[in-house]
Amino acid sequence: MSINDMSRNKNSSQGQSGGPGPALMGAHTLLGDEVYNRDGEHLGDIKEFMIDMTDGRITYAVLSFGGVLGMGDKLFAVPWAALSLDTKAKRFTLNTPKAVLKDAPGFDKAHWPSMSDKTWASSVHKFYGTPYAAD
C-alpha cells in the first residue's frame, strides 16, 4: 500500500475522523512512494527507512535513483528533514534539482555506508542543507 492507497482510504472514512494519514502513517505504506522535486522532476522512489533506535524517529529515507528496471540504481540516504509530504500530489518532495542529485553522496545496494558514522552523517546533512547535531 502506498500513500495513494492511504489517500483513497482516507477519502472514504479515514483521516482526521479516526484513521491513519497523513499526520501519522505506517512506514510500510510509504515504501515505493515517488519523490519529485519542486520543478516536477521525478527523482526516484523510497526503498527503505532508517530509524534511530535511541529515539524511534526516522532519520533517513533511502531513495533509489537512476538505472532501468531496478538495475544500476544508485541509493541515497536522504535526511528525513529534507523531504516533505505532498498530500495533494500523493508523493514526497525533495528540494534538490535532478542534476545536483547526481552528485549526491550515494551507494549501491551491496555496499551500504555506516549511517551512524558522524562524519558520513554530517556530510550528507550538509549536502541536503539540513541541520545535524552529532550529540
Collapsed DSSP state (helix, strand, coil) of residue 64: strand
Do residues 101 and 65 lie in contact, with contact meaning Cβ atoms separated by under 8 Å? yes
Phi-psi region of 7 (alpha: psi -120 to 50; beta: other; left: phi over 0): alpha
Do residues 33 and 55 lie in contact, with contact meaning Cβ atoms separated by under 8 Å? no
Q: Which three cell numbers stand for residue 16?
A: 482526521
pTM score, whole prediction: 0.79
Distance CA 83, CA 95 (A): 8
Which regions in the chain score pLDDT beneath 70?
1-21, 67-72, 135
pLDDT for the residue 103: 87
All domains in the chain, ordered by first residue: 1-30 (no CATH), 31-120 (2.30.30.240)
φ and ψ of 32, to 5 deg? 90, -10
